[in-house]
Amino acid sequence: MINLFNAQIESLSIHRVGNKNRGENIFLSASTYHLNDEITPLIKEYFLKPFREKEESYYKFHHEHDLEFNELYNLSKEIFKDPLNTHEYSKKIGTLLYEQSTHPHIKSGEVYVVYFENMQLDNEKVSAIGIFKSELKHDFLQFEQKSSNLEMIVQQGINLNKLDKGALIFNKNEEEGYKILSVDSNRYDTKYWLENFLGVDVLADENYFTKNYLNFCKNFAKDVVFPAEDKKQEVMFMNRSMDYFAKNDDFEETNFMNSVIENPELIPEFQNYKVEKAPKFKVEDLTTFPIANKAVTEARKKIKSVINLDTHIQIKMDFVNSESAEKFVEKGWDEEKQMYYYLVYFNKEEKN
């Protein structure tokens, strides 16, 4: 879990990288950029805001032969050992990005290399390297007073509310390839930033395991529980699954199945579904793992506990505890109308 509020920018280097295949140049600044009190909070928010809003999915540096062959990993190690010379290493980072800027869709842009102190990761203060790129330019108006009139002047610049690309490399787990976060708003070439430049792979941690297993459960509910039972039971299964993950620090698969799957006939169905679908959801060997609370919170936001009926009626079951649905919602069959019905109990209607 990260906290970026107290992060301090110790150094900032800005370079410009063009598209090499289009013959565009690279411009490397001779020295660091000297921040002032006006621009510091703006640029810090520009760099870090996307990482506060994004679900935490960590990466690590990777190389198919050996981690030591990953150029950015080696440059990161040098910066963490010698942060006072970050600017010199930033030139090598800019050059490395330029060498990878060959795809026709890649736009030229400014590259920012930042050395941060006071990042908080997993309740520990760490330093970090930020690498950011601004690509898209936007038109904006400036106004100039001339005698008795205001004149409009069209200029171009970057939108400080939207970072195009960025990575935070935390000074943690050096031997395993560090812990890294990445954002990419403009995916012209998905391999360009993550694979070709950063050279990263997914970090398989508790956040990764929790997210993958909940996604697997969501699809089991849709593919198996709903056809075998009904929409209510699909929603109930996911509510019970979310409750299990929210109330436990560690996941244990046998305990999970016994706690969440009420119909015993669905337990072998769950086991068979896992054998069939495990590679797709990356849960092949997952039977026990620590549960990441943030991943549970993010997954809960995406779960739609809604029953859509063919009579154009929706029932939204927004329960904190899954047991509430059994108390307050009943399903039945009306012989006279030859239709299913839901009976809903309540004390009073709430105002919108």
Residue in this structure with the two tokens 């009073």, named with its chain if needed: 348
Asked if 15 and 101 count as a contact pair (C-beta separation under 8 A), the reply is: no
**E-assigned strand segments in the chain:** 2-3, 8-17, 26-28, 59-61, 109-121, 124-134, 138-146, 149-157, 165-170, 179-184, 200-202, 250-252, 288-290, 306-308, 314-316, 329-334, 339-344
Residue in this structure with the two tokens 């842009």, named with its chain if needed: 109
Looking at residue 325, what is its pLDDT? 65
Between CA 331 and CA 125 the distance in angstroms is 53
Burial class for 117, CB neighbours closer than 10 Å (0-12, 13-18, 19+):
middle
Looking at residue 343, what is its pLDDT? 84
Looking at residue 230, what is its pLDDT? 82
* pLDDT tens string 159-176: 999 999 999 999 999 999
Q: Which residues of the chain fall short of a pLDDT of 50?
A: none
